[in-house]
Chains A and B, each alone.
Chain A
Amino acid sequence: MIGELGHFALALAFVLALAQTVLPLWGAARRDGRMMAAAGPLAHGHLLACAAAFGALLYVFAVNDTSVVNVVQNSHSAKPMLYKLAGAWGNHEGSMVLWVLILALCGGAVAGFGRDLPTALKARVLGVLGLVAAGFLLFILVTSNPFGRVWPPPADGQGLNPVLQDPGLAFHPPLLYLGYVGFAVTFAFAVAALLEGRVDAAWGRWVRPWALAAWSFLTLGIALGSWWAYYELGWGGYWFWDPVENASLLPWLAGTALLHSAVVVEKREALKVWTVLLALLAFGFSLLGTFLVRSGVLNSVHAFANDPERGVFILGLLVFYIGGAFALFAWRGPAMAPTGMFSPLSREGGLVLNNLLLCSAAAVVLVGTLWPMFADLLFDQKISVGPPFFNTAILPLTVPLVLAMAAGPLLSWKRARLWPVLERLWWAALGAATALLLCLFLAGWRVGPALGFGAAIWLILGALADLADRIALFRRPAAAWSRAGGLPRAAWGAALAHAGLGVTLLGIAGMGLATDHLSAMRPGQSVALGGYQWRLDKVEDAIGPNWSARRATVTVLRDGATVTVLHPERRFFPVGRSTTTEAAIHTGLSGDLYAVLGEEQDGAAVLRLHHNLLAPWIWLGALIMALGGAISLTDRRIRVAAPASKRAAALAAKA
């Protein structure tokens, strides 16, 4: 019964989304106030319907209703409640319902908080959002019904893949979707602007908070996924340049560019056409990611649903939305004349360089991801494009990006001079050079990590130099404190986000120096690694809610004193008959102590021990970046101009 209600709610949501598309867009074209005014209530009704469908889905998973196919395939009564609920979106159908729910939430937020939006612009934005939602709801209804029944119902479900039984599953997809879907809103704003044929500073002021919120969530989502892989997979790796990871990186790169160029629209009314294009691109990449993950066209994949029918449907949606938007862009884009002028060496110029480099990086990732498919189709050659390619090809773009990143915020608008900027950065350059040489000297001429440390210090000190310059710390130290209070939060946020990337680079460079040790050990034996003594004390049995395990006790000592006791496990899940390894990780400021338990033979257990230098800083940096985005969202300029972003900011701060 509840399942059927959920299914009905999805159909209702589809109809409401269609109405939300047609009425406001038609009304805006005919300047009919009543039709435009229907957009808000329709968006709220659509949100209610989606929420009802999602609630029904959670319910059938919570009570383990085995007459629903989706529950049978992905759940089991013995699972802890958290994973029963998280399992609701740990599969293709359920995750699509979450997707449309988040989209409806964004639409509801635009409708509810966008009272200051010009009526026609608001109607068009909601109309476009409705169109996007309608397409995906139709996709769910036609190809991926999450409430399909099975008769007779089996006694219990088949269980969720043990690897997915992790808090990571509960948060990773929602955060990623908040990012992807947030770019649907900037997409809607861009299409609305094209329909109106006008982009102005007010438009930029509306787009920026949405881009910021989406970007912050996407940053968190990607970082969480990477951290999850790091601790769950037990290899100590954190980024694999897998097509699916690349699919989330693409909208992030385009979104980062969008974020920066929206600033130029807002402040200087320049780069309008370019910003609209980036908004289309960011959402286009989000859809492309959805397509790649769910169609199984690529040799990768974490694809939950390798189903050609679904792939074709999503490809159709992709072509319809993105092709349509680009056609509209080609038609209306040239009409939007730039008004702000600037010389190449200026803040605007710096942001153009930022966009150029980020988009080139996105192009490299896109080409690298799709090339194996092209080579197969065009040249009939089977090739692989893996991490060694991406690391090499992305480097010539990253180096100038990082170099310019510290200098950009110090340039003045319109026309800048280079020398004063360099004068303010000399100590950052000195620090970076010191870090680079120190690393080369201490770690034995390893160029990659040394470059990473140099770049990290350059970015962190560069962000400090930017702040110091803004509060005139060195010129008028007495007034610095009061100036710091008056500094716009957007400036704090930007500096923080730039420094956050520096922190992440610090972690990546540290991981370049990580060491590990693989050996078969007997209880009582110990090995030396990374300046620590690791002693295996015992291996014993352990029992969990739906698994049994072998659990090792490893004591880590430094200079005879115990640093920590690690308990790596090998878990066996009877449902599904599978084994997982649970790495034991001790996180500290200087790095992670990481232990994995392997198979046992003749009283000896295989242990893989890692000393991952500075590893936690990778994700700490991402957290700092997202925090920078959140602080920027609370900027007075945005709060005053766009109350809708308050909610997004509150959400971002909570996350």
Chain B
Amino acid sequence: MRRLILALLLLAGPAFAVGSPSEMLPDPAQEQRARAIGRELRCMVCQNESIEESQAGLARDLRLIVRERVAAGDSDQAVVAYVHDRYGDFVLLRPPFRLATAALWGAPFLALGAGLLAILLLRRRGAPSEPVPLSPEERARLAALEKDPTA
């Protein structure tokens, strides 16, 4: 959906260029790795797109940098770190864990914890969860009734 509108922004350029085979690495395994890395990196002039999906010039430059590093034998982490050092946090689609993102990464657990707490509190405050057990007299009367319903 996003790209539908993105097209509006890109009308000037060749919208939806399909990609160019000359950018690809000759080794399919390396190309596969480069793509996986590229999907973690943001095209910084685009609306929330990874560099693998974007047609902007900057994305193309970054794609080439990633492939250069992969071809030079860097590990995946080293390539990401290389780009991260030069472009800052904004380039990472998976935000790094730090104080400003602690609540973001903790969101699933915070939400679950808060929900559980609310449920427990509501249960305690609400109606008693178990009916009061019968007293010995009531039980005796029940037994008598079960034996002889007319009593």
Contact = CB atoms under 8 A, between A and B. Distances in A.
Interface stretch (B1-9, B59-67, B133-141): B1-9
Interface in A549-605: 576-581, 596-599
**A-B pairs with lowest CB-CB distance, top 3:** A386-B93, A598-B18, A302-B5
Interface residues of B, number: 55
A596 B17 CA distance: 10
Interface string A138-164: 000000000000000000000001111
A389 B50 CA distance: 13
A633 to B, nearest CB: 27
Interface stretch (A55-63, A109-117, A359-367): A359-367
A609 B33 CA distance: 19
Given A371-B101, A394-B108, A245 B91 contact: no
A596 B89 contact: no
30 contacts: A163-B7, A225-B1, A229-B2, A233-B16, A234-B18, A240-B3, A245-B2, A300-B47, A302-B1, A302-B5, A303-B5, A341-B129, A343-B129, A356-B112, A356-B116, A368-B107, A375-B101, A383-B95, A385-B95, A387-B93, A389-B95, A389-B104, A396-B108, A518-B19, A579-B14, A581-B18, A597-B18, A598-B19, A599-B17, A606-B20
A606 B23 CA distance: 12
A135 B126 CA distance: 37
B105 interface: yes
A339 B127 contact: yes
A319 interface: no
Given A237-B53, A243-B48, A519 B16 contact: no
B128 interface: yes
B19 A608 contact: yes
B8 A161 contact: yes
Interface in A494-543: 518-520
Given A356-B115, A519-B21, A606-B18, A384 B3 contact: no
Contact of A375 (B88, B94, B100, B116): B100
A519 B23 CA distance: 11
B1 A229 contact: yes
Given A303-B5, A606-B19, A364 B107 contact: yes
A301 interface: yes
A581 B104 CA distance: 37
Given A240-B1, A242-B1, A384-B90, 9 more contacts: A233-B4, A244-B1, A301-B5, A303-B5, A338-B127, A360-B112, A363-B110, A386-B93, A518-B24
Contacts of A359: 111, 115
Contact of B16 (A273, A341, A579): A579
A408 to B, nearest CB: 16
A385 B104 contact: yes
A576 B107 CA distance: 44
Interface string A236-270: 01001011110000000000000000000000000
A579 B93 CA distance: 29
A360 B108 contact: yes
Contacts of B101: 371, 375, 383
Contact of B94 (A234, A357, A388, A519): A388
Contacts of A301: 2, 5, 47
A228 to B, nearest CB: 7
A492 to B, nearest CB: 30
Contacts of B119: 352, 356
A165 to B, nearest CB: 11
B11 interface: yes
A337 B107 contact: no
Interface of A: 161-164, 225-226, 228-229, 232-235, 237, 240, 242-245, 273, 299-304, 337-339, 341-343, 352, 356-357, 359-360, 363-364, 367-368, 371, 375, 378-379, 381-389, 392-394, 396-397, 518-520, 576-581, 596-599, 606-608
Given A161-B7, A384-B90, A580-B7, A341 B1 contact: no
B1 A245 contact: yes
A597 to B, nearest CB: 7
Interface string B81-93: 0000000111111
B103 interface: yes
Contacts of A243: 48
Nearest to A166: B4
Contacts of B47: 242, 299-301
B15 interface: yes
Contacts of A339: 127
A303 B4 CA distance: 10
A553 to B, nearest CB: 17
A67 to B, nearest CB: 24
Nearest to B8: A161
Contacts of A394: 108
Nearest to B88: A382
Contacts of A226: 1
A166 to B, nearest CB: 9
A384 B88 CA distance: 10
A337 B127 contact: yes
A338 B126 contact: yes
A599 B15 CA distance: 11
Given A161-B7, A229-B4, A244-B2, A363 B15 contact: no
Nearest to B10: A578
B26 interface: no
B131 interface: yes
Contacts of A520: 21
A162 B4 CA distance: 9
A302 B8 CA distance: 9
B83 to A, nearest CB: 13
B2 to A, nearest CB: 4
Nearest to A341: B127
Among B2, B20, B92, B116: residue with most chain A CB under 10 A? B2
Nearest to B52: A235
B35 to A, nearest CB: 10
Contacts of B129: 341-343
B19 A384 contact: no
Contacts of A337: 126-127
A177 to B, nearest CB: 15
